[in-house]
Amino acid sequence: MKTLQHTLETELYSFFLQTKANKAIIGISGGIDSALTLAIAVHALGKENIYALLLPYKLGEVSSYKNFEDAEEICKQFGVEYQKIEIDTFVQPYLSLQSLDIKNSENLLILGNTLARIRMTLLFAHANTFNGIVLGTCNLTEVLLGYETKFGDGAADVSVIGNLWKREVYELAKLYNLPESFITKKPSAELYANQSDEEEMGFSYDDAEKVLQHIRDNKNEIPHTIDKKTQNKIHEMYKKSEHKRTLLPTLFHTKNLSPLA
């Protein structure tokens, strides 16, 4: 793990230098992924080169006070400059559009994706302001499941922990001495009230990792404790989200076709 820690910090530092950025911009949610990304960034770049945004929605209802307090505390612990922006006013115009019907409880996915994209818009706006880069905070397990919003939390200038399994995120969090509250709390993107990642997916990150390793590397046997229904669901999520892991499809992208032909 020490070697992994060193590699992540070294590569992030090199990327930062190559881009000639002045700041690294990061959204802090109060969850373990963004907290670990912050820890890596501070050790790699120095706290003076980090600018954090805390972007709650309906604080106390959708975004919990606990997660907001944890997000604020981790920023103070690492001594980084941060700003709180409640995004309620940005979301309101979307809620008013009858064509979207976001208020319908069946369309929570639309609301969740909208929140993620609004947050990323704010992060990139601040990156433009400070001549900065946006740090991605999604882990490998989420990426392979497609459990991220396209052009939302899945967008960034560099993916810091995008090659770490969720298990490795927890292991590194302990190495960086992150507060216990980050390690023990239920993972949640807080895209709507009382949302829990594992409850929404219908399986644990641990089970997902075992199946995904089998799908991707074909190196391990899937434990018998993971039923076929769960295996199929994970496999389906992996296949359906493939478009999120590829470059934007472009027409006329062949040697024999040209837009001018």
Partners of residue 52 on adjacent β-strands: 26, 82
**Six-digit token string for 257:** 């076709």
Per-residue pLDDT band at 1 (split at 50, 70, 90): confident
State what percent of residues in the chain have pLDDT above 90: 76
Residues 226-254, mean pLDDT to the nearest whole number = 89
Burial class (CB in 10 A: 0-12, 13-18, 19+), 259: exposed
Per-residue pLDDT band at 255 (split at 50, 70, 90): low
Predicted pLDDT at 190: 80
Q: What is the DSSP letter of 82?
A: E
Residues 164-178, mean pLDDT to the nearest whole number = 96
In the chain, where the domains are located: 2-197, 202-247
Residues 51-69, mean pLDDT to the nearest whole number = 95
Helix 32-45 and helix 65-78: axis angle, to 10°? 10
pTM as predicted: 0.92
**Six-digit token string for 219:** 């190196």
Predicted pLDDT at 131: 98
With 90 as the cut, is the pLDDT of residue 251 above it? no
Nearest to 120 by CA among 30, 62, 53: 53
Domain 2-197 CATH (choose: 3.40.50.300, 3.90.940.20, 3.40.50.10320, 3.40.50.620) = 3.40.50.620
**Six-digit token string for 234:** 């994970």
Phi, psi values for residue 246, rounded to 5°: -120, 160
With 80 as the cut, is the pLDDT of residue 24 above it? yes
Query: 54-63, 96-105, 175-184, 208-217: lowest mean pLDDT where?
Result: 96-105
